[in-house]
Amino acid sequence: MKRRKTQLIKPRIREILSKTLPPELVNLLPKHWVQLGDVLILPLREELLPYKYEIAKVYAEVLGVKTVLRKGKIGGEFRETNYEIIYGNDPVTIHKENGILYKFDASKIMFSPANVKERVRMASIAKPDELVVDMFAGIGHLSLPIAKHCGARVIAIEKSPYTFKFLVENIELNKVQDRMTAYNIDNREFKGENIADRILMGYVVKTHEFIPKALEIAKDEAVIHYHNTVPERLMPREPFETFQKIAREHGYESELLESRIIKRYAPGVWHVVLDIRVFKK
Ligand SMILES: C[S@@+](CC[C@H](N)C(=O)[O-])C[C@H]1O[C@@H](n2cnc3c(N)ncnc32)[C@H](O)[C@@H]1O
């Protein structure tokens, strides 16, 4: 039933907008979008920008969302989205996925649909007696599933004060205050040493710079979920070789348990995650 409804949406949107838009622009209307709670993220081509408000209004009405954002580039230390609000005025949404409520400002904070498999994988990755440290927590993207579904203890570190506000709210919304604690600091300032059974490094481009800190937080034996971006021509050697080299320099051996592709990051560059067991030499 739902599938049939979805199939009817695109023709309905085209039909309404063909009354306002020049015919050559109707074919450029977005055929794919991302809906997070009651906010829609729409990729809009330059040619459509003079009509962006009219277009966003129709998508909002047909899809039943309160706000529409124009998809743009993600960047900077905090991986901010900076998506333009083109319809409505409230970009804060509550998105439900795999039994978890994620509240966040979709115009500023990334929530990638392509990372869904990894978020779901985390929901059964840890044992209840583990201590997990999430070094790049965001709004709890990867660590809320661990706290909620695995019942493990989680320390979540997030540097951006704005994102941190939502992380704290999400811990309460998901009722995991008894086992999840959040810190609004740069993870390099975190004081815990030799405490973690498992470490999440959900960051890209510069993740290798944080390996020494991860090893400091890790117990003598631990598992690290190491994300990074890697040019295709260096795969599959990288990024494990670099990890192993840095770990050795810090007195740890490493064993690659598994590697997975998360998504295409740029032409010829992949976002990957490696599960690595580290142990003190
Ligand atoms: C790309 S988001 C990813 C969130 C989540 N780990 C995931 O994989 O879906 C990375 C987060 O790390 C935060 N961050 C960046 N550098 C940090 C640092 N040095 N210490 C703590 N958090 C940091 C950013 O603000 C951002 O919220």
Nearest alpha carbon to residue 202 among 146, 268, 132, 138: 138
Judge whether residue 5 has pLDDT over 90. Answer: no
The reply to whether 105 sits in an annotated binding site is: no
Q: Closest Cα to atom 27, ligand 1: which residue?
A: 138
Last residue of some domain: 90, 122, 140?
Answer: 90
Atom of ligand 1 nearest to the CA of 111: 9
Judge whether residue 2 has pLDDT over 90. Answer: no
Residues near ligand 1 (Cβ within 6 A): 77-79, 110, 115, 136, 138, 141-142, 157-160, 163, 186-188, 202-203
Note whether 247 and 136 are same-domain residues. Answer: yes
In the prediction, which pLDDT does 59 show? 97
Note whether 137 and 49 are same-domain residues. Answer: no
Distance 157 CA to ligand 1 centre (A): 8
Average pLDDT, the chain: 96
Given CA atoms 179, 183, 186, 188 in this order, what sign does their dihedral have? negative
Residue 98, in any domain of the structure:
no
Nearest alpha carbon to residue 185 among 156, 145, 210, 213: 156
Note whether 134 and 273 are same-domain residues. Answer: yes
Judge whether residue 4 has pLDDT over 60. Answer: no
C-alpha to C-alpha distance for 251 and 120, rounded to whole angstroms: 32
In the prediction, which pLDDT does 199 show? 98
C-alpha to C-alpha distance for 88 and 69, rounded to whole angstroms: 9
Note whether 231 and 157 are same-domain residues. Answer: yes
C-alpha to C-alpha distance for 170 and 109, rounded to whole angstroms: 14
Q: Closest Cα to atom 2, ligand 1: which residue?
A: 138
In the prediction, which pLDDT does 74 show? 87
Note whether 202 and 123 are same-domain residues. Answer: yes
Which CATH number does the domain housing residue 149 bear? 3.40.50.150
Note whether 188 and 150 are same-domain residues. Answer: yes
Note whether 139 and 271 are same-domain residues. Answer: yes
Distance 56 CA to ligand 1 centre (A): 30
For residue 273, give its domain range: 111-280
Tens of pLDDT along 46-91? 999 999 999 999 999 999 999 999 998 888 898 898 899 999 999 9
Tens of pLDDT along 165-210? 999 999 999 999 999 999 999 999 999 999 999 999 999 999 999 9
Asked if 18 and 11 count as a contact pair (C-beta separation under 8 A), the reply is no
In the prediction, which pLDDT does 281 show? 83
The reply to whether 172 sits in an annotated binding site is: no
Tens of pLDDT along 206-238? 999 999 999 999 999 999 999 999 999 999 999
Tens of pLDDT along 135-161? 999 999 999 999 999 999 999 999 999
Note whether 149 and 244 are same-domain residues. Answer: yes
Q: Among 203, 207, 211, 225, which residue has the most ligand 1 atoms within 8 Å of its CB, making it the best to mutate? A: 203
Residue 105, in any domain of the structure:
no
Number of domains in the chain: 2
Q: Closest Cα to atom 18, ligand 1: which residue?
A: 186
Q: For tokens 């481009």, what's the residue?
A: 205
Judge whether residue 6 has pLDDT over 80. Answer: no
Q: What's the token pair of residue 200?
A: 């999440």
Please list the residues that pair with 205 across neighbouring strands: none
Judge whether residue 3 has pLDDT over 60. Answer: no
Atom of ligand 1 nearest to the CA of 74: 1
